[in-house]
A and B are shown apart, each in its own frame.
Chain A
Amino acid sequence: QAQLQQSGPGLVKPSQTLSLTCAISGDSVSSNSAAWNWIRQSPSRGLEWLGRTYYRSKWYNDYAVSVKSRITINPDTSKNQFSLQLNSVTPEDTAVYYCARTRGHLDLWGRGTLVTVSS
């Protein structure tokens, strides 16, 4: 049974970088049939897909237009995990952040990390 384990700080100061990691067990970040996503949820914005990374003979990334200038999602094959970096955060980036797997559909989610942007 595959699982996703999230880690990272719950408090980030405005203008700094939000960094989260999602460790994968029971699957591989290099799988040719999976994609690895970051999604966030807040009362004001609901569920919002942020981006994904996936491997199809080479690595690809797709990012949501709303965060494209500030986001990086990187795979780490040595640790079988992937990460999220969101730069120049503001209080509007306060949300619960989820990592999730796609195998045709978003079928496996991490437990979520509440990230608060505040000084």
Chain B
Amino acid sequence: QSVLTQPPSASGTPGQRVTISCSGGSSNIGSNAVNWYQQLPGTAPKLLIYTSDQRPSGVPDRFSGSRSGTSASLAINGLQSEDEADYYCAAWDGSLNGWVFGGGTKLTVL
């Protein structure tokens, strides 16, 4: 069972806005930044959002992140077919002294 909690699935139609939640605790999201990753089948996770709300260069501004208390969320505006992937949240856990992950959310573009 993953330390961070995500919904197992999400879906939307092209052009819609979709949000994915990530819930944790005081030792991880409550005190450290959240990162989001996109994973396409057969590939490694790719950094999508870091420090809760920052995008690496090359990531479209359709992707945004936020954090409040012990929860975080990833929003995708203007959903596109190529956004169909698995999405993971991650944060440093000060009590476990290691990185912890969510169980992943499979996003389907209908």
Mark A residues whose CB is within 8 Å of B: 37, 39, 46-49, 51-52, 62-65, 98, 102, 104-107, 109-112
Within 8 A of A (CB), among B37-74: 37, 43-47, 50-51, 56
For the complex, count residues of B whose C-beta is within 8 A of A. 23
Q: Do residues B35 and A105 form an inter-chain contact, with CB atoms below 8 A?
A: yes
A109 to B44, CA, bound (A): 7
Cβ contacts under 8 Å, A104 to chain B:
50-51
Cβ contacts under 8 Å, A37 to chain B:
99
**Which of these, A47, A63, A111, A112, contacts B88 with CB under 8 Å?**
A47
Q: Do residues A106 and B90 form an inter-chain contact, with CB atoms below 8 A?
A: yes
Q: Do residues A106 and B104 form an inter-chain contact, with CB atoms below 8 A?
A: no
Main secondary structure of the interface of A (DSSP, over half): strand
Cβ contacts under 8 Å, A52 to chain B:
98
What's the nearest-Cβ distance from chain B to residue A7, in Å?
A: 15
What's the nearest-Cβ distance from chain A to residue B97, in Å?
A: 6
**Which of these, B43, B56, B99, B103, contacts A39 with CB under 8 Å?**
B99
Known contacts A62-B98, A102-B99, A105-B35; 13 further A-B pairs (Cβ under 8 A): A46-B2, A46-B101, A46-B102, A47-B90, A65-B96, A98-B45, A104-B50, A105-B50, A105-B90, A106-B37, A106-B90, A109-B46, A110-B44
